[in-house]
Each structure stands twice: as structure tokens, then as C-alpha cells.
Amino acid sequence: MSGNGSGSLVPIRVKPGSSRARVGGRYEGPHGAALVVAVHAPPVDGRATDAAIAALADALGLRRADLSLRSGAASRDKIIAVTDAPPDLADRVARLRDTPP
């Protein structure tokens, strides 16, 4: 996870079509250690991405409007930008990422 001013970048790995939505676990992907976000939505027309961003916002205790897709629209590996990130965002992400799936 990296920061830039009051915003931060969070790498995630989306698992679309999961039987249940959950945020937690680690995936070593092209952007380093990523947080796994499983969603029920299929990978069609950006629905899985939208569901993943909403699930991530909820898991981090943030507003959906504070998160946006930075890169990876057509990939399971995505970078999510968090504006006005709280000071403990890195700890929140690490706690979720280090939770076993």
C-alpha cells in the first residue's frame, strides 16, 4: 500500500462469482501483497469491480465515494485509490490482508 498526500493506493485481488462476499486474505500479485476481495457479482460490465469497491469501503469503514478505481478495469488485480485516507488506513488494510481466507 502506498500513499500520496491525503490519499492512498490499495492493491486488491478480486474474486468474482464467489458464493459469498468477503474481504480478507493475501495475494502476491503484480502490485505486491494485495488484499483479496471476493464478491458475488459476475465479471461483466464492471459489476464485480463496483461490488469489490463497495465491499472494500464497508470493510475499511469508509464511504464508497472515497474509493475509486485507479487501474485494472479489465483485470482481477486492481489498484484502488482512497481519498482523504484516515491515518490508520495502512493498519486497517494490513489487518484484513493478514486474516486467513
Residue 9 lies in a domain: yes
What is this structure's pTM? 0.91
Q: What is the CATH number of the domain that holds 54?
A: 3.30.1200.10
- The C-alpha atoms of residue 54 and residue 46 are separated, in whole angstroms, by 12
In one letter, which amino acid is 67? Answer: L
In one letter, which amino acid is 91? Answer: D
**How many domains does the chain fold into?**
1
Residue 101 lies in a domain: no
Residue 53 lies in a domain: yes
Residue 44: give the domain boundaries: 2-96
Q: What would the pLDDT profile of 43-93 be if each residue is shown by its tens digit?
A: 999 999 999 999 999 999 999 999 999 999 999 999 999 998 999 999 999
- DSSP code, position 53: H
Distances in Å between the Cα of 8 and the Cα atoms of 36, 46, 50, 62, 95 are 17, 22, 19, 13, 16
Residue 16 lies in a domain: yes
Residue 71 lies in a domain: yes
Residue 51 lies in a domain: yes
